Structure 1
Amino acid sequence: MSTATSTDTRSPAPHAADSHDLIRVHGARVNNLKDVSIEIPKRRLTVFTGVSGSGKSSLVFGTIAAESQRMINETYSTFVQGFMPTLARPEVDVLEGLTTAIIVDQQRMGADPRSTVGTATDANALLRILFSRLGQPHVGPPSAFAFNVASVRASGAITVERGADRTKAVKQTFNRTGGMCTRCEGRGTVTDIDLTQLYDDSKSIAEGAFTIPGWKSDSFWTVRVYAESGFVDPNKPIREYTEKEMRDFLHKEPVKVKVEGVNLTYEGLIPKVRKSFLAKDPEAMQPHIREFVERAVTFTTCPECDGTRLSEAARSSRIDGVSIADACAMQISDLAAWVRGLDEPSVAPLLTSLGDTLDSFVEIGLGYLSLDRPSGTLSGGEAQRTKMIRHLGSSLTDVTYVFDEPTIGLHPHDIQRMNGLLLRLRDKGNTVLVVEHKPETIAIADHVVDLGPLAGSEGGTVCFEGTVGRLRGSGTLTGHHLDDRARLKPQVRKPTGAVEIRGAAANNLRDVDVDVPLGVLCVVTGVAGSGKSSLIHGSIPASAGVVAIDQGAIRGSRRSNPATYTGLLDPIRKAFAKENGVKPALFSANSAGACPACNGAGVVYTDLAMMAGVASPCEECDGKRFQAEVLEYHLGGPENGKDISEVLAMSVTEAHAFFGGDGAKVPAAARILQRMEDVGLGYLKVGQPLTTLSGGERQRLKLATRMAEKGGVYVLDEPTTGLHLADVEQLLGLLDRLVDSGKSVIVIEHHQAVMAHADWIIDLGPGAGHDGGRIVFEGTPADLVADRSTLTGEHLAAYVGA
């Protein structure tokens, strides 16, 4: 099969003679792009296709959108730029015809506890104005209904004139009314610390009672300040402390004490832990510290505001018996109907604007959400669609909208609606650039750019430019697989048992009873918001031996790579150490073997204040990250031996051949590399920074890592996310191998190919939110197609051509 075409496959762009109608890219070299040069028609819908890792995101987001943003930032004054993120110029020779880029990507909306669906859009602001005008009793301006604004009473002096030559200072009190609950400070939850995670109360401090990471017995700043403070007995088990000792141990206000003549501050353990751990960003913590914090901190609903985040005054004001807390807790589709039912001419424009905003949620398939839903709990697809809300009613034209797989998380029924929104943005005179794998969205493109031919170092070139029709006959990997359709299996596996779920009522589930079969490939389907994740993640007991692989982001710094994330580096370091008679730490760029000039980063970062910083390869180690002496040690014999930097530069496939074949027998490393190949990551570099991996690559890396865990039940959440059409077949083969090895595999999925390949389907619905939460079908894919009583059944039947 050919994966490249001659240049005659390119179709002329509309109005090609007019350079103002084109976005010209020449010589793009971001990540794996190989001097890519293309011309993209403006005011058209262009879809970028290609296997995961082929360079689509590098071209669209890393080059075109990044340069547009950088150039817009440069229009501000230097003073303003000092407060903005610094953006480096992409590696590209020429970029012409750029317009303002609005990026609507899959980045989660952050885990800020104060951010909700309502605050992330205009909906909450409009709702606050509405209640400040119509709410009874009247409690104040819009800020009185804002849970992010505290009530403040401040005094100040103002000078007033009293006659021709006299002035007098008059004290005046200023009030600012906010709607924040004072108990939880607008978070809706209060935190508590699990003391059992801080110490073992059967031991004394002298016996090592503290179980807090990094608290060593000889540390002046932690353990010794408690042991020698005089407030507690260091030789008595903590459980035997008197009431006063316990109060001083846990809650005492900061006070100066002397430890061996050194002045130190003593304070209770709980405020000490709050300042040391809870005030820091969890994402910036080392993994073992983050795990400790997640164990030690518990969150409970605020008893004062019942989780609404709002003060009692804000909750007391109502419109037709509905408070703003009630409104924010409604399903958005219901809230839209409530707003449309309000008849008050004095606020008619406000009601129209709020109604339109809420209707946009429904139109985009998010009507099942509520405005008080924390934005950090939204999936990548939900976050992307939420970001679209503010653009749907915009009157701007000639803007470049950039989307990253907007169909993620969408049922086939909803993809058509998403396609309509993309076309509407185009028809208003905008340029729409979409990175996408789904054939339903590729089909609506005016222009297609196919990158490849493969991924990583074997990708980064433009294989095809032109229409969808010409793509089908182009011979590229995408063109070859564009019309692929999975078939229903003639025979399905028989279950070996079942996980019984009884009375499931999490979120929108309606007292659901269902038996999830074991020993088979079970696919859970239904429209977005129908209750799939609530049923599987929220109802299957942990005792079932579940290994859950969701869409959560991989945590790690720019030093992290596939070798460190999967644990592959450990057996490799030990093998190097054993063969050369040295310590394993020498073969870690984060430890003893690190280049002293760059601290093992491989690059030296130069801060240029308001200008973008520069990362230059380290001249000392030439970007290899290790000391020169470390690179003198080899593994694999005198002829074919490799140093540690050469191993990290190998692809997964090359490393597998090296550690599993004639190069160097390291079975533990070979097993990990085999799993990475099984999930289609053979092309990745072993030492490639995780920050350069696409979303699909990161998810499959997580899958490869979790496959090693013991557990009989694997739960996968939309594993086709980010997968090219050609890779779906490989994924189905992997799922089959898991089941055939004795595992039970449960997949939450929208892709019809996975549905068709299932042994058993559980379909939820019939709709989303309170219109869902019920089992609408259980059975084989063939029975679902024959039945056609659900939305999933209709679309699966159309997909398989039944």
Structure 2
Amino acid sequence: MPQDFIHVKGAREHNLKNVEVTIPRDKLVVITGVSGSGKSSLAFDTIYAEGQRRYVESLSAYARQFLGRMDKPDVDYIEGLSPAISIDQKGVSHNPRSTVGTVTEIYDYLRLLFARVGKPHCPKCGRPVERQTIQQIVDAILSLAEDSRITLLAPKVRRKKGEHKDILEAARRAGFVRIRVNGEILMLEETETLNLDKQKWHYIELVVDRIVIRPDIELSRVSESVEAALREGEGVLQVLRQPREEGAKEEELVYSEQFACVRCGTSLPEIEPRTFSFNSPHGACPQCTGLGFKLEVDPNLVIPNRNLSLLEGAVVAWNRTGASSGWYMSMMESVARAHDFSPQVPVKDLDEEHLKVILYGVKGKKVTIRHRTHNGRTYSWETRFEGVIPNLERRYRETESDHTRQDIERYMTARPCQACKGQRLKPEALGVKVCDLSIMEVTAMNIAQGVEWVRTIDPDAPGEHSDEVLSPRDKSIANQILKEIDGRLRFLDGIGLDYVTMSRTARTLSGGEAQRVRLATQLAPALRASCTFVTSPRWVCIPTTITDSLTPSPACGTWAIR
């Protein structure tokens, strides 16, 4: 049998009855039939399964131990088979962190692009931030107004808890005379009896030198002091400038061999691909952990029917059966008694202040709780009423029970994170820009806009360009990265996903959209001579330009569609 065909003989998997079929290679093949006729049994459970099994068998014994054993399908033999790829109709991912960009690896290349040619900006004032050499720092200090009194500081502790006795002792041994602790300059000999509260945040800086800016100042002294401060401060130097006017505040400048804003004093971390990962603590917004939204207790879900009174079960989140039911009711009655309102009045008729007490509690004020158990015993104690919503938030945060979490989540709503405005990343990462756009502004584009953006920032591309284009140096660095991004974007555009944004979460995609995204993931790398299986492809029934773009050739292999 020539190898221009895939020959299947004696297929008996599931409901197949000794099926023999010859399938042309390097063609678009459709397997069709009524439900239950064996389409999937032939395509997936026989041909695809055997292709996968043969591939795994070709690997080393060490590699096979991680992939597991694959059973041979019930078939006499299959000839002319290629390595197989399967694309089904299921959703891409239910993970809220997965997006079109991450699934297709476009976002991975964008992270690499921004790490290599991105220009950092201060997250506070928006000014461009650059590394500074020692000479640049010295020049900046000498450019300060004449007669300025400055103190060069080397930061040793930045917002860390502890007593830090080792830092103070090391400074004394190194011969330093002064040190600044939490904003106050002290003689180091005075710190021998200093006891810092280990439960509080502290800031400690070594005083390296005190200088008055004059025309005749020795340049060597300033340079040596700057070098010493940078060495002790691990690349960061603080300059404390004394005010000229009485009552004015001291001005503090920050210089860094790393990335630091001269105006705000904000130091930025080293820019790496992980800086832009919302799946890593290095890049994810600390408030929403990179999700872009937070689950918050919704008052309208806690009290859905405000026609009910507290005693009638208006607070559904606290409606319980068993022993805890009476305890919650006793608490409601006690709170109502302490704040002079009736628990038998419909919630809609309560004052706004009383409703706020129920939902959010009262800080500092204790309430006497009286509770009668089922056996007739009465207990009384004083406690602070934290409120229904803080109670649910605390229990959700502290519990290790999935059942309890799922129960509380019924009363929660997903809202955009206020810290990152739904953009998932830390401010430092969002401040890095390529041609005036942050990485999340790029991923907010749809696929068609993304294709155009890649073209307009490339100075060598034909047509009009954006106001900002890559410099020749950046272009040489980013050239291969842009090719990978452009190739994936154009593939998605070609299969009809031009309207989908790169930041769209994968779980919101329809079955057909998810299937096409998987096509981009598996076929964009331009695999050759592979056998691709697609189940129930909805995209076959939509624009013919899509299927035209997928017409197989010897380069892309055989397509089997059921």
Q: TM-score range by the shorter chain?
A: 0.5 to 0.7
Query: How do 1:426-575 and structure 2 match up within 5 A?
Result: 427-428=554-555, 430-435=557-562
SS at match of 1:309: coil
2:287 to 183, 186, 189: 183
Contact 1:231 1:249 in 2 (8 A): no
C-alpha distance 260-434 of structure 1, shift in aligned 2 (>3 A) = same
SS at match of 1:351: helix
Contact 1:191 1:297 in 2 (8 A): yes
C-alpha distance 243-335 of structure 1, shift in aligned 2 (>3 A) = closer
SS at match of 1:338: helix
The question of 1:349 aligning with 2:487 is answered no
> Aligned partner of 1:342: which letter?
D
Q: Which runs of 5+ in 1 are unaligned?
A: 1-16, 152-177, 251-256, 436-802
Cα displacement string for residues 215-265 of structure 1 (whole angstroms, at most 9, x for unaligned residues): 6522x5x63564578996699459577877654699xxxxxx99889xxxx
| Cα deviation, residue 198, structure 1 | 3.7
2:427 to 298, 312, 316: 312
| Cα deviation, residue 307, structure 1 | 1.9
Contact 2:447 2:489 in 1 (8 A): yes
Cα displacement string for residues 674-708 of structure 1 (whole angstroms, at most 9, x for unaligned residues): xxxxxxxxxxxxxxxxxxxxxxxxxxxxxxxxxxx
Query: How do 1:297-446 and structure 2 match up within 5 A?
Result: 297-340=412-455, 341-343=457-459, 344-408=475-539, 411=542, 414-424=543-553, 427-428=554-555, 430-435=557-562
> Aligned partner of 1:268: which letter?
N
Contact 2:451 2:490 in 1 (8 A): yes
Contact 2:29 2:559 in 1 (8 A): yes
Q: Which moved more, 1:315-324 or 1:89-98?
A: 89-98
Task: Please name the residue that 2:154 is paired with.
Answer: none
SS at match of 1:64: helix
SS at match of 1:419: helix
C-alpha distance 230-78 of structure 1, shift in aligned 2 (>3 A) = farther
> Aligned partner of 1:434: which letter?
I
Cα displacement string for residues 497-532 of structure 1 (whole angstroms, at most 9, x for unaligned residues): xxxxxxxxxxxxxxxxxxxxxxxxxxxxxxxxxxxx
Larger Rg belongs to: 2
| Cα deviation, residue 402, structure 1 | 0.4
C-alpha distance 143-42 of structure 1, shift in aligned 2 (>3 A) = same
Once residues 324 and 120 of structure 1 are traced to their aligned partners in structure 2, the CA distance between those partners, rounded to angstroms, is: 16
Once residues 56 and 312 of structure 2 are traced to their aligned partners in structure 1, the CA distance between those partners, rounded to angstroms, is: 58
C-alpha distance 408-356 of structure 1, shift in aligned 2 (>3 A) = closer
Cα displacement string for residues 266-313 of structure 1 (whole angstroms, at most 9, x for unaligned residues): 99234446888995799xx9xxx8xx96x7432222222222222211
Once residues 77 and 105 of structure 2 are traced to their aligned partners in structure 1, the CA distance between those partners, rounded to angstroms, is: 34
C-alpha distance 73-278 of structure 1, shift in aligned 2 (>3 A) = farther
The question of 1:28 aligning with 2:151 is answered no
Task: Please name the residue that 2:98 is paired with.
Answer: 115
SS at match of 2:559: strand
Once residues 452 and 442 of structure 2 are traced to their aligned partners in structure 1, the CA distance between those partners, rounded to angstroms, is: 11
> Aligned partner of 1:96: which letter?
I
Query: How do 1:269-284 and structure 2 match up within 5 A?
Result: 269-272=392-395
Contact 1:329 1:371 in 2 (8 A): yes
Q: Which moved more, 1:237-246 or 1:331-340?
A: 237-246
Once residues 61 and 249 of structure 1 are traced to their aligned partners in structure 2, the CA distance between those partners, rounded to angstroms, is: 62
C-alpha distance 74-321 of structure 1, shift in aligned 2 (>3 A) = same
> Aligned partner of 1:405: which letter?
S
C-alpha distance 96-276 of structure 1, shift in aligned 2 (>3 A) = farther
Identity of counterpart residues, as a percentage?
28
> Aligned partner of 2:544: which letter?
I
Contact 1:49 1:56 in 2 (8 A): yes
The question of 1:127 aligning with 2:110 is answered yes
C-alpha distance 134-203 of structure 1, shift in aligned 2 (>3 A) = same
| Cα deviation, residue 353, structure 1 | 1.8
RMSD of aligned alpha carbons = 4.4
Contact 2:492 2:520 in 1 (8 A): yes
Query: How do 1:649-660 and structure 2 match up within 5 A?
Result: none
Once residues 510 and 355 of structure 2 are traced to their aligned partners in structure 1, the CA distance between those partners, rounded to angstroms, is: 49
SS at match of 2:534: strand
SS at match of 1:140: coil
Once residues 312 and 433 of structure 1 are traced to their aligned partners in structure 2, the CA distance between those partners, rounded to angstroms, is: 47
Query: How do 1:223-302 and structure 2 match up within 5 A?
Result: 223=325, 226-227=328-329, 236=343, 246-247=359-360, 268-272=391-395, 296-302=411-417
> Aligned partner of 2:561: which letter?
V
Cα displacement string for residues 27-50 of structure 1 (whole angstroms, at most 9, x for unaligned residues): 4342x5445443434444321012
Contact 2:26 2:552 in 1 (8 A): no
Task: Please name the residue that 1:49 is paired with.
Answer: 32
Once residues 104 and 10 of structure 2 are traced to their aligned partners in structure 1, the CA distance between those partners, rounded to angstroms, is: 37
Once residues 313 and 524 of structure 2 are traced to their aligned partners in structure 1, the CA distance between those partners, rounded to angstroms, is: 62
Once residues 258 and 374 of structure 1 are traced to their aligned partners in structure 2, the CA distance between those partners, rounded to angstroms, is: 50
> Aligned partner of 1:24: which letter?
V
C-alpha distance 280-37 of structure 1, shift in aligned 2 (>3 A) = farther
Task: Please name the residue that 2:78 is paired with.
Answer: 96
> Aligned partner of 1:383: which letter?
A
> Aligned partner of 2:6: which letter?
L
Once residues 212 and 67 of structure 1 are traced to their aligned partners in structure 2, the CA distance between those partners, rounded to angstroms, is: 53
C-alpha distance 90-236 of structure 1, shift in aligned 2 (>3 A) = farther
Once residues 298 and 431 of structure 2 are traced to their aligned partners in structure 1, the CA distance between those partners, rounded to angstroms, is: 34
| Cα deviation, residue 329, structure 1 | 1.0
Once residues 259 and 75 of structure 1 are traced to their aligned partners in structure 2, the CA distance between those partners, rounded to angstroms, is: 70
Task: Please name the residue that 2:281 is paired with.
Answer: 150
SS at match of 2:8: strand
Query: How do 1:764-783 and structure 2 match up within 5 A?
Result: none
| Cα deviation, residue 396, structure 1 | 3.3
| Cα deviation, residue 66, structure 1 | 4.0
Once residues 101 and 89 of structure 2 are traced to their aligned partners in structure 1, the CA distance between those partners, rounded to angstroms, is: 18
Contact 2:292 2:422 in 1 (8 A): yes
| Cα deviation, residue 119, structure 1 | 0.4
C-alpha distance 231-141 of structure 1, shift in aligned 2 (>3 A) = farther
| Cα deviation, residue 141, structure 1 | 0.3
Contact 2:92 2:518 in 1 (8 A): no
C-alpha distance 49-258 of structure 1, shift in aligned 2 (>3 A) = farther
Task: Please name the residue that 1:639 is paired with.
Answer: none
Once residues 65 and 124 of structure 1 are traced to their aligned partners in structure 2, the CA distance between those partners, rounded to angstroms, is: 30
Q: Which moved more, 1:130-139 or 1:21-30?
A: 21-30
| Cα deviation, residue 366, structure 1 | 1.5
Once residues 371 and 194 of structure 1 are traced to their aligned partners in structure 2, the CA distance between those partners, rounded to angstroms, is: 30
> Aligned partner of 1:421: which letter?
L
| Cα deviation, residue 89, structure 1 | 4.6
Once residues 298 and 125 of structure 1 are traced to their aligned partners in structure 2, the CA distance between those partners, rounded to angstroms, is: 30
C-alpha distance 120-148 of structure 1, shift in aligned 2 (>3 A) = same
Once residues 145 and 102 of structure 1 are traced to their aligned partners in structure 2, the CA distance between those partners, rounded to angstroms, is: 31
Cα displacement string for residues 450-501 of structure 1 (whole angstroms, at most 9, x for unaligned residues): xxxxxxxxxxxxxxxxxxxxxxxxxxxxxxxxxxxxxxxxxxxxxxxxxxxx
Cα displacement string for residues 755-794 of structure 1 (whole angstroms, at most 9, x for unaligned residues): xxxxxxxxxxxxxxxxxxxxxxxxxxxxxxxxxxxxxxxx
SS at match of 1:402: strand
C-alpha distance 274-47 of structure 1, shift in aligned 2 (>3 A) = farther
C-alpha distance 355-242 of structure 1, shift in aligned 2 (>3 A) = closer
C-alpha distance 390-91 of structure 1, shift in aligned 2 (>3 A) = closer
2:301 to 170, 189, 197: 197
Contact 1:123 1:357 in 2 (8 A): yes
Contact 1:382 1:409 in 2 (8 A): no
| Cα deviation, residue 71, structure 1 | 6.0
